[in-house]
Each structure stands twice: as C-alpha cells, then as structure tokens.
Amino acid sequence: MECTINWMPASGMAFSAETGSGHLLTMDGAPEGGGRNLAPRPMETLLAGAGACTAYDVVLILKRGRHAVTGCQVKVQAERAETEPKVFTSINLHFVVTGHNLSPAPVERAVQMSFDKYCSATAMLAKTASITSSVEIKAA
C-alpha cells in the first residue's frame, strides 16, 4: 500500500493525497493553524477511515452470515490528548445497523469480530485510545 501527499502552498495548509489505488483525497488545516478549512483535517480523515474500516467488516460479516442487512452507519466520537502529539485517547463507535429481522446477537458479534480480528485501523488506534462501541438495530 502506498500514498503520495503533496502540499498545496497556494491554499495555505492544504494537502492532496493520491492513493496507491489512484484516488485523490484533499485535507486542510484549521484557520488558526494556517489552513482555510477547505477540506477535512488529517486527524478527522484518520477517524473516518477507522469508522469505515470497521463498518466494512461488520457489513461483510453479516452478509456472509446471510443476515438481511440493508444499512450500516457508524457515529464516531473521539477525544484527543491535550499535549503534543495529540493522539486519540478515547474513541466511541456507535453502530446503527438496519435490516430485515436482525437480532442483536449476530450484529454485536460482527462488531466484536471486527475489533478482535479484522479491523487494522481500530487495532492501531487502540494502542493509544480506549475504544468503546454500542449497537442500535433498526428495522428496514
């Protein structure tokens, strides 16, 4: 896996990233840090990636188990350290899973399997952050 990051000096503190798969992603800083608030912050992008990584796992696990999942949303809230490096110290992922006749046990199991075995992003972030989760199930 690879990624190339380029600073865009005309934009203050904005950066473009070209991923190894050929996709572009733009990130920017807050105005107080020289940015222009034109795109997500790099740390927001990291948090979004972790949420998407674990959501991907949950959907895949449920589909492989032949559960009728029709939607998966993860609401992520995090706190960061007060001093540099301002790593994430706590992260909560609230899963809202929608489907037909979904029972809590397989959904909770899928979330746990993602954390215990599959999600590389949350595994890395767990080195500095306490990660908690909750599950809400909605009928489709």
Return the biggest CA–CA distance within the chain: 53
pLDDT score at 52: 98
pLDDT score at 90: 98
Residue 19, strand partner residues: 3
Domain ranges of the chain: 3-33, 42-139
Retrieve residue 90's tokens: 């706590």
CA 18 to chain centre: 19
pTM comes to 0.93
pLDDT score at 29: 96
pLDDT score at 55: 98
Calculate mean pLDDT across residues 121-136.
Answer: 98
61 vs 110: CA distance, rounded Å: 6
pLDDT score at 11: 92
Which secondary-structure segment (H or E) carries 137? strand 130-139
- pLDDT digit string (tens) for 46-104? 999 999 999 999 999 999 999 999 999 999 999 999 999 999 999 999 999 999 999 99
103 vs 82: CA distance, rounded Å: 40
Domain 42-139 in CATH 2.40.40.20? The answer is no
What's the Cα-to-Cα distance from 72 to each of 66, 109, 140, rounded to whole Å? Answer: 15, 15, 11
Write down the residue that tokens 């009928």 correspond to. Answer: 139
pLDDT score at 97: 98
